[in-house]
Amino acid sequence: MRVIVDAMGGDNAPIEIVKGALEAIERSKDLNVVLSGRRAEIQPVLNGVSERIEILDAEDIIAFDESPAAAVRNKPNSSLVIALEALKARDDVCGLVSAGSTGAVLTGAFMKVGRIKGISRPALAGVLPTVTGGNVLLCDCGANVDCKPVNLLHFAVMGEAYARALGVENPKVGLISNGTEEGKGNALTKEAYALIADSGLNFVGNVESRELLSGNIDVAVVDGFDGNLVLKTCEGTAISIFSWLKQSINVGGFRAKLGAMFLKPALKSVKHTLDYNENGGACFIGVEKIVMKAHGSAKSASICASILQVAALAEADIIGNIKKRVDVLKAEIGD
Amino acid sequence: MRVIVDAMGGDNAPIEIVKGALEAIERSKDLNVVLSGRRAEIQPVLNGVSERIEILDAEDIIAFDESPAAAVRNKPNSSLVIALEALKARDDVCGLVSAGSTGAVLTGAFMKVGRIKGISRPALAGVLPTVTGGNVLLCDCGANVDCKPVNLLHFAVMGEAYARALGVENPKVGLISNGTEEGKGNALTKEAYALIADSGLNFVGNVESRELLSGNIDVAVVDGFDGNLVLKTCEGTAISIFSWLKQSINVGGFRAKLGAMFLKPALKSVKHTLDYNENGGACFIGVEKIVMKAHGSAKSASICASILQVAALAEADIIGNIKKRVDVLKAEIGD
């Protein structure tokens, strides 16, 4: 298994990225990593030569504030574009990890790797923790605004294949809506409901966003604008709750401070559960190879988690499974 | 000041509703309350006669599972319809509180009280707490799915008038979007952005839902489908965090349990901050009188808070201010 990593993408590149790659090959003996970027900056972090790490020279870097399409077109020697071209060209590479600009990674993957035939729009699938100790996939969590019903059907198909690749048997697919009854929703979700209900997936119908982290569903299907809203509301609410708790502790006198001291490991564990940085990245599914977008501020632990996740998804043949499902859909509903 | 209260609406009607009315007249000496509902059930809770409480006889009740429009049409003797008709007809009544079916309250208010001329669609404005100790209005938080840009402009106008009525000077209005840059958004929010930017409001532009509870904005403008998603994601995330914390405490041994014991008041205070039940209701703004939807499970404290909020909004002449702003809009942008 060989994963290519954009060594220059992200706030902490290249040091944390390269460290993450080293952690990943340490953790998985069958894994090889290809790093794209500036050899002079990567080599010192590697601290020696490993036959399981290869460097692809790339001198340019795409910054977070560049226009994605223009950057991908105009910087053929950037670490991201070099990585994407190798991903497309090389059969020995199963997927890619980048902590660079989300727009550039998505646009680049679309332009350079290409989408799976039959998938109308690739989507960004985020992995969130649930209170039952599992995960829920939020798909799409930001790649596509202004979706059509068929896009949501494809998000459901891809999210389900992703959940299966993560080891979930017969994943429960829910459609995020403003109420659970079948008639609830906006024009988009009402039409999408009918399509997904006919798709042969294990569709549990409409689900309120209140239920997202409850563990009741494995895949939450949503338009990318709304998925982004939901994801960032989760994040903002968590930040706010910890801020309120801190305020209450500060005005709560000795008793509260003592309590906080004793409760610190428990509070830390909850923060850890919610930490993007520890939970790998979001997968851009629907392109011909596995593309994992790590958080821009990712440190080595997160990069390592992302690399291992790409390897696991490749092992489970997520791309092949999406293609099979697309073929079934075409046969079943003539799409 | 006289507020009419649907005494039979809600899970805890009529007992908690009537108790809430009694608490409200106790708290505000200038306040009178009109209760609509079954006299035989209301009278015992009143426990004596107050000249500041009037009862309007209404024998029927609209249940939560009834079709809103049909229920409003077919149950002229329901506590809600009787209340709405009195609200429309009587100049001495400034507003209404109901903890009944949201659909019935909204549909009923629209049909029986009528919308303000120039407002395309009334909206449900929810009041959320912020980490800086203030509030943010989420407008629309669920009344209108499939909005047009002009609807969002009107949500901004009404939300701003609401924030002013709550005592905020020059309220900061933000448009919920998937990024802060001006070009971000979906087709709906991009067009709405241009309209709101031209409206003369204190518009701070696009705001991510991550910022909702930060205290950076006073009014968050959003389509009702998305507002519902955001509201319920806040709720679900809060529930999940407390659930994770409980799990961490349970596996954290003696130390964690001791910490939880000492920290209990602080944890309770955060839960209290987030409690719907204590924070009054959501105002249905854009109809000709003030209509406050209390939470279905509201107890007396919440009903009391809702009644007092209606009185405060009437005191601040929120309806008059919305009308003035609509006139300015018409003159300015020819809408």
Q: For A159-172, how does the pLDDT look when each residue is reduced to its tens digit (9 = 90+)?
A: 999 999 999 999 99
Report the range of poorest mean pLDDT among A139-143, A307-311, B181-185, B270-274. Answer: B270-274
**Structural contact between residues A137 and A45, judged by C-beta atoms closer than 8 angstroms:** no
- pLDDT of res. B335: 47
- pLDDT of res. A244: 87
Give A204 to chain B, closest Cα distance, Å: 18
Residue A40 confidence class, pLDDT cut points 50, 70, 90:
very high
C-alpha–C-alpha distance, residues B226 and B186, integer Å: 12
Mean pLDDT of the A41-56 span: 90
Q: Is B210 within 8 Å of A236 when comparing Cβ atoms?
A: yes
Distances (CA, A) of A208 to A239, B70, B296: 22, 25, 17
Q: Give the whole-number percent of chain B exceeding pLDDT 90.
A: 79
List the single residue in A with minimal CA-CA distance to B133. A244
**Structural contact between residues A274 and B245, judged by C-beta atoms closer than 8 angstroms:** no
- Checking if the pLDDT of A31 tops 90, the result is yes
User: What share of residues in chain A are helix, strand, coil (percent, to 5)?
Assistant: 50, 15, 35
Torsion of CA B182, B187, B189, B195, to 10 degrees: 80
pLDDT tens-digit series, residues A243-292: 888 888 888 888 888 888 877 877 777 777 776 555 668 999 999 999 99
Exposure of B236 in the CB half-sphere (CA atoms within 13 A) = 25
- pLDDT of res. B277: 54
List the single residue in B with minimal CA-CA distance to A213. B240
Interface A-B, measured as beta-carbon pairs within 8 A, has a size of 187
- pLDDT of res. B261: 81
User: Which residues in chain B come in under a pLDDT of 50?
Assistant: 335
Determine which helix (DSSP H) or strand (DSSP E) holds B291, and give its type and residue range: strand B290-293
User: How would you classify the pairing of strands A173-177 and A135-139?
Assistant: unpaired
Give B193 to chain A, closest Cα distance, Å: 15
C-alpha–C-alpha distance, residues B175 and A146, integer Å: 17
- pLDDT of res. B153: 97
- Backbone torsions φ then ψ of A177, nearest 5 degrees: -145, 180
CA angle B17, B67, A174 (to 5 degrees): 100
Q: Which of A66, A145, A140, A75 is nearest to A103 (CA)?
A: A66
pTM of the model: 0.92
Sequence-ordered list of residues with C-beta below 8 angstroms from that of B112, at least 6 positions apart, any chain: B72, B81, B84, B85, B87, B88
- pLDDT of res. B279: 63
Q: Is A259 within 8 Å of B262 when comparing Cβ atoms?
A: yes
Buried b (16+ CB within 10 A) or exposed e, B269-289: bbeebbebbebbbbbbbbbbb
- pLDDT of res. B276: 56
Cβ contacts (< 8 Å) between B208 and chain A: which residues?
A: 232, 236
Cβ contacts (< 8 Å) between A259 and chain B: which residues?
A: 258-264, 266
Mean pLDDT of the A32-57 span: 93
- Checking if the pLDDT of A185 tops 90, the result is yes
Burial class (CB in 10 A: 0-12, 13-18, 19+), A134: middle
pLDDT tens-digit series, residues A51-105: 899 999 999 999 999 999 999 999 999 999 999 999 999 999 999 999 999 999 9
**Structural contact between residues B85 and B58, judged by C-beta atoms closer than 8 angstroms:** no
C-alpha–C-alpha distance, residues A13 and B209, integer Å: 28
Give A276 to chain B, closest Cα distance, Å: 14
- pLDDT of res. A105: 96
Q: Is B256 within 8 Å of A266 when comparing Cβ atoms?
A: yes
Q: Is A228 within 8 Å of B178 when comparing Cβ atoms?
A: yes
Q: What is the mean pLDDT of chain A?
A: 92
- Among B145, B146, B148, the strongest candidate for a mutation testing the A interface, having the largest count of A CBs within 10 A, is B145
Task: Output the 3-class SS for B25-72.
Answer: HHHCCCCEEEEEECHHHHHHHHCCCCCCEEEEECCECCCCCCCHHHHH
- pLDDT of res. A335: 47
Of residues B210, B232, B265, nearest to A252 (C-beta):
B265
Cβ contacts (< 8 Å) between B210 and chain A: which residues?
A: 232-233, 235-236, 239
Q: Is B213 within 8 Å of A236 when comparing Cβ atoms?
A: yes
The secondary structure of residue B112, as a DSSP letter, is I
Give A245 to chain B, closest Cα distance, Å: 6
Of residues A145, A240, A245, nearest to B266 (C-beta):
A245
Buried b (16+ CB within 10 A) or exposed e, A311-330: bbbbebebbebbbebbeebe
Give B143 to chain A, closest Cα distance, Å: 10
